[in-house]
Homo-oligomer: A and B are copies of this chain.
């Protein structure tokens, strides 16, 4: 598979993003939904921030909704406290409770050439309710009839679920509540109705049994979802053995719906893979690639906040070119072009 990484990579780094407050620092600018809006290419990226700390204390911003109105609270964790596990850069595990090391919001970056981006000075979607107390993350943008639907992870002590926000201009966003209850993530809404219904990929997690597999659901109104089907399971021992989840919004092709998804193996390496779904009944898999179509190799993909990660929440298709924007090493945003035909042929 030919991958044309952009020579400008990484396209956006944490240093390019002004923090939302003076006492915050941006740690990661990554996992971005993508959309075309007029002449602009829009990336709606996840920006992970922490309060500026030091070697002794980790300072974590959390949305506190206990009072009347939500307020950012800075919680401090003593790095020398042996009862606290700081081993995973993403989480702080205290006895009885898990915290994220960062609070994420969603920020817009705009471009006309798809390579050079200007980052908006302020957040576009910021956590503002109990279900978002640990942040909002990993948006996918689906354009349907001039409206842009943003499905994003909503993280809180009550779990990870999916919120929906809607915009028509990438200026004002209206939140529409929780569309998938805990635990769920990686929701990719199809760009048009299929057989009279909307469809969405999603990734529930089952405590009792079962791996983090990809499911699909249907809807008549984009708010209420049902008719759930298990769609794509992890495979034993390989690059997609630990978890699979939707990546890009599914792409309609003349062979069916092409989904470029992410998967990780048991050492936490994240790759992208491809699967072809039935054009009229996308809960049926027509073909699945045996190998990843895109694996972390470049230095900005192999080193960072979480090493060896390529993770895409959005791309744009023009003719045979698929422009994939992706979070690299959970730290920066990069871009790469691939050939649609080549991906489809790899599934034949």
Q: Contact residues of A with B, CB < 8 Å?
A: 97-98, 130-131, 134, 155-161, 177-184, 202, 204-210, 213, 215, 217-221, 223-230, 233
Contacts and interface: CB of A to CB of B under 8 A. Distances in A.
B158 A210 contact: yes
A156 B209 CA distance: 8
Contact of A210 (B182, B219, B220, B226): B182
Contact of A183 (B177, B207, B221): B207
A184 B207 CA distance: 10
B220 A227 contact: no
Nearest to A179: B226
Name, among A204, A209, A233, the residue most crowded by chain B CB atoms within 10 Å (CB to CB).
A209
Contacts of A181: 180, 184, 202, 204, 215, 217, 228
A178 B159 CA distance: 22
A131 B215 CA distance: 12
**Count of chain copies:** 2
B205 A98 contact: no
Nearest to A222: B226
Name, among A98, A160, A204, A208, the residue most crowded by chain B CB atoms within 10 Å (CB to CB).
A208
Given A160-B206, A181-B228, A183-B205, 14 more contacts: A134-B209, A158-B206, A158-B213, A158-B233, A178-B229, A180-B181, A181-B204, A182-B205, A219-B224, A220-B221, A223-B227, A224-B225, A224-B227, A225-B225
Given A181-B204, A209-B157, A226 B228 contact: no
A10 to B, nearest CB: 28
Nearest 5 CB-CB pairings of A with B: A159-B206, A224-B224, A182-B206, A224-B226, A159-B210
Contacts of A207: 159, 183, 205, 207
A233 B202 CA distance: 25
Nearest to A177: B227
B183 A230 contact: no
Contacts of A155: 208
A182 B229 CA distance: 10
A159 B233 CA distance: 12
B228 A161 contact: yes
A165 to B, nearest CB: 14
20 contacts: A97-B209, A98-B208, A98-B209, A134-B209, A156-B209, A156-B210, A157-B210, A159-B204, A159-B207, A159-B210, A178-B227, A178-B228, A179-B226, A181-B228, A183-B206, A183-B207, A183-B208, A220-B224, A224-B226, A225-B225
Contacts of A205: 182-183, 206-208
A156 B207 CA distance: 12
